[in-house]
Amino acid sequence: MTPETLSAALNDIRQCIDSDQLEQAEAKARAALSSGTGPLDIWHLLAHALRRQGRIEEAKVIQEMLVQHLPHNVVLRFELAETLLLLGDFDSGWRQYRFRYDLPHTTNLKRTVQVPRWDGAPIAGKTLLIHDEQGFGDTLQFMRMIPWVKKHSQAHIILQISPDLLPFAQRLSGADKIIVRGQLPGPFDLHCEMMSLPMAMKLQITDLPGEIPYLHPDPLRLKEWRKKLASIRGPKIALVWAGRPTHTNDANRSMDLSRLAPLAAHNRDATFLSVQKGAKEEQAQTPPDGMKLVNLSGDIRDFDDTAAILALSDMLISVDSSPAHLAGAMGRPVWTMLPFVPDWRWLMNRPDTPWYPHMRLFRQPQRGNWDAVIADMAKSLPVFLNDQYQRKAAE
């Protein structure tokens, strides 16, 4: 294959992938590799096409081959990490996941620390800096490990965290000192990114979920929101229909509020509460016909407000988002809508998650098929609400 024909083949396959013509991309890649060998760039695109079709094991075999041939390519290692974790192979997955801040688009986020990364060994008498990472959902998910690290390491722990999540850290055990990003931590002997803690602690699925809840709402905010919501009778269902637009997979995980109309059609007694923030929160001003929606988005100042609303709601229905993690960490009922091939943390082919015992997962049966997800939720919602009513009546 000449450089010209290789370039043309790669462009052709990429265009198919970009336009979600994954079967065509696979066929073109296999044709170019019909001899059983061929350029690694085409194998790389074939792995992409297979993975996005949900053929994760097939993609993994190719990704492992690529890493074997190009061991210093951090992009390939990170892609393999996400596949391994999606398949539940935590041992290998966490080791590869450490390359997440060596990618071309993430190197500017990497924090250079001039002390060794903690390897999970007991370090009594030493000071360990644990610093959070960029995504709020990531931090909410992995804050559970701070008490575990304290118990195992016997270290003096400094926790550095986003100011948006500082109140939750202050209500969490395990850290001896808490600072926000930008503050100097003082002397420390070792460090560890929050999402490198699973690698250090050799986290397994069987270790999950740990103590639930591990995050708690502010009592004063609870009191405030209980008054605000006092006039709402009947079931209260919080809603989030879109994630952060800058997320690399946002097009596959977010939707418009109008698509959730069937939830209201089957549940006329329920009041839906918008806790949506960001670019699509204005959609709460014009809810679908028949949906009784109270728009709380403009009154939500921070995650403490969201936590209080979730604590007072019967449940949260959400796309893959930080409020979904918050509800799960608080032990609140939450239904999470997932694309056909989800983020690695949700694993594959199961309606539950080891991370959050009170979360139910609703997965697309085919790529882009949100209608089936919403129809399944609409059918299941009256059963859930009736169970909740009976449980409250028995208390």
Provide the pLDDT confidence category of residue 368 given band limits of 50, 70 and 90: very high
Task: Place 108 in a pLDDT band, splitting at 50, 70 and 90.
Answer: low
Tens of pLDDT along 31-42? 999 988 899 999
Tell me the C-alpha distance between 323 and 238, whole Å. Answer: 10
User: Hey, what are 213's tokens?
Assistant: 């809840």
Residue with tokens 């644990």: 130
Superfamily per CATH, domain 3-106: Tetratricopeptide repeat domain (1.25.40.10)
159-179 tens-digit pLDDT = 999 999 999 999 999 999 999
- Whether 379 shows a pLDDT value over 70: the answer reads yes
Average pLDDT, the chain: 93
Contact predicate 348/56, CB 8 Å: yes
Three-class DSSP category at 228: helix
Q: What is the pLDDT of residues 184-200, one digit of tens each?
A: 999 999 999 999 999 99
What sign does the dihedral 285-290-292-293 (CA atoms) show? negative
* pLDDT at 386 (0 to 100): 87
Q: Are 189 and 114 in contact (CB under 8 A)?
A: no
* Residue found by looking up tokens 């909740």 in the block: 388
Bridge partners of 274, per DSSP, are 239, 295
Q: Secondary structure of 347-374 in the HEC alphabet?
A: CCCCCCCCCCCCEEEEECCCCCCHHHHH
pLDDT bucket at 58, cuts 50 / 70 / 90: very high
**pLDDT at 248 (0 to 100):** 67
Q: What is the pLDDT of residues 62-97, one digit of tens each?
A: 999 999 999 999 999 999 999 999 999 999 999 999
- Work out the pLDDT band at 100, boundaries 50, 70, 90: confident
Determine the pLDDT at residue 246. Answer: 65
For residues 97 and 159, the answer to whether their CB atoms sit within 8 Å is no
Instruction: Tell me how far the alpha carbon of residue 348 is from its chain's centroid.
Output: 14
Tell me what percent of the residues of the chain surpass a pLDDT of 90.
84
Q: Where are the domains of the chain?
A: 3-106, 127-203, 219-386
Fold of 219-386: Rossmann fold (3.40.50)
204 contact partners, CB below 8 Å, separation of at least 6: 90, 91
pTM, two decimals, is: 0.95
